[in-house]
Chain A
């Protein structure tokens, strides 16, 4: 939006300013992030906002924490130590966790490699496959469930096509694992990235599923002591691995219930908002989706201003990992959303611990603030007067 020439011009005129007050360095004001919603300490007696951002991260399930704690202070051995009980008990816990992760996606435990997270798994899959790839093969990499709009890709079909053409198929399942049923054999997936903190597990751990039959050969990203069958050197952090395993086992047990609960809440939220507020668009396919990720565009209201208005609810617009840029969401652009609607979108994230009261509060606040912002919007005014916005020649900036 702000072209380079314009920005240098502005900085030039700002630097010439005589007042000593204008010495704002970037350290005093948070310029990372698109909006003046800055990091700040909560005011005295200010309540923390409701959490509706489950795609960004999830709180640990207390049961996961229970599983991890003994491995932090009691069973603290290195799982690769072969010569004493500390090592043996840690290794046993690590292998149990590995099986828990494998069971969730119908894989063999020997096909699971622990990593520091889905990002590392993605990097491993893509960069290292390049080393061993034959000239005629290639790699298809697809997100199972999109983190911005919740849409689910037809993975089974993609897998079938890839297998028939002898092409490797990698999928980043960070938002899908434990939320929708996954079977890596049915899906014919060769590589799958898993993230701990997206499924009520600890942060800092993830896994990579690497198919054994037909074998996927890989070169390691990280060299060292040869742990994880040489694919990923470095001591496996037992407490984190145990946490990931526990999170996966809990997710498997509660998958159906969670899915029904989240669907119920999502429907409640969307119905409440859409019944009270006109001109709201849900982005993404209404059927092929994970219900807990809802992306809505509120026409004639700008997304950042709505986020600021909903300060009692923790929400986001666009994905957390790309929030430093000024561009509207690439995902919305890719699905053909109008540019002005792309600037008007908010993502609601519902999870295992969301309650009906939270959803009702969020919906009411949202309805209230959208109405208020629309009263302040020249676009809404013009639409009410019957003007077609697409016919206006806007002054570009």
Chain B
């Protein structure tokens, strides 16, 4: 196990990863939250300095075809939410549920003081998936009622 990875680690790629996501964020924007294929997650609080809104668009096969985010927060928070939107595209709902904050933190090399940003991003995707699931259930219930 090499020890020299630690010294080049902090200053090299990882710093630029966060800066890259922050300066060229992917998938900033909004989807139509009234659409039945869109799930919206809103997590965090302005008083804490961190709010993330994450939206996913799911096709009829249960695959996530689009994702958008908007974040009020520091560079690490913006990078974490941007990264998550990149990761969920093309995944199924079940796969998206397995995204962990530790993966996000590892990818962006977040220092301990910024780990909560990755946790909030995980909460955001889970909230979006939950919202989509609830919407689908409501649609099913409506369909059942209509056929009776």
Contacts and interface: CB of A to CB of B under 8 A. Distances in A.
Same complex: yes
Interface of A: 1-2, 6-7, 10-11, 13-14, 17, 19-31, 34-38, 40, 300-305, 308, 326, 328, 339-340, 343, 375-381, 389, 394-397
Contacts of B71: 376-378
Chain A to chain B: the 4 pairs with minimum beta-carbon distance, closest first: A340-B46, A394-B45, A28-B10, A378-B53
Interface stretch (B89-97, B104-112, B132-140): B104-112
B15 A36 contact: yes
Contacts of A377: 70-72
Q: Of residues B46, B52, B120, which shows the largest number of chain A Cβ atoms within 10 Å of its Cβ?
A: B46
Contacts of A397: 43-45, 48, 50, 116, 119-120, 123
Contacts, number: 152
Contacts of B5: 20-21, 23
B1 A20 contact: yes
A35 B75 contact: yes
A36 B114 contact: yes
A304 B48 CA distance: 13
A343 B53 CA distance: 18
A89 to B, nearest CB: 48
Given A1-B48, A29-B111, A378-B70, A40 B6 contact: no
Nearest to A25: B6
Interface residues of B, number: 52
Given A28-B6, A301-B72, A397-B123, 8 more contacts: A6-B116, A25-B6, A308-B75, A326-B113, A339-B46, A340-B46, A394-B45, A395-B123
B25 to A, nearest CB: 7
Nearest to A35: B74
B112 to A, nearest CB: 6
Nearest to B82: A376
Nearest to A326: B113
Contacts of B9: 21, 24, 28-29
A376 B68 CA distance: 10
A174 B32 CA distance: 54
B90 to A, nearest CB: 23
28 contacts: A1-B116, A2-B116, A10-B116, A14-B112, A21-B5, A22-B106, A26-B111, A28-B9, A29-B10, A36-B74, A36-B111, A301-B72, A302-B49, A303-B49, A308-B75, A340-B47, A340-B49, A343-B46, A343-B47, A376-B70, A378-B42, A378-B70, A381-B53, A394-B46, A395-B45, A397-B45, A397-B50, A397-B120
A269 to B, nearest CB: 24
B106 A21 contact: yes
Contact of A36 (B2, B18, B30): B18
Nearest to B53: A378
Contacts of B48: 1, 343, 396-397
A16 to B, nearest CB: 9
B44 A302 contact: no
B43 A339 contact: no
Contacts of A326: 113
B98 interface: no
A375 B45 contact: no
Given A24-B6, A31-B111, A394 B47 contact: yes
B99 interface: no
A302 B79 CA distance: 14
B112 A10 contact: yes
A284 to B, nearest CB: 21
Q: Of residues B1, B9, B113, which shows the largest number of chain A Cβ atoms within 10 Å of its Cβ?
A: B113
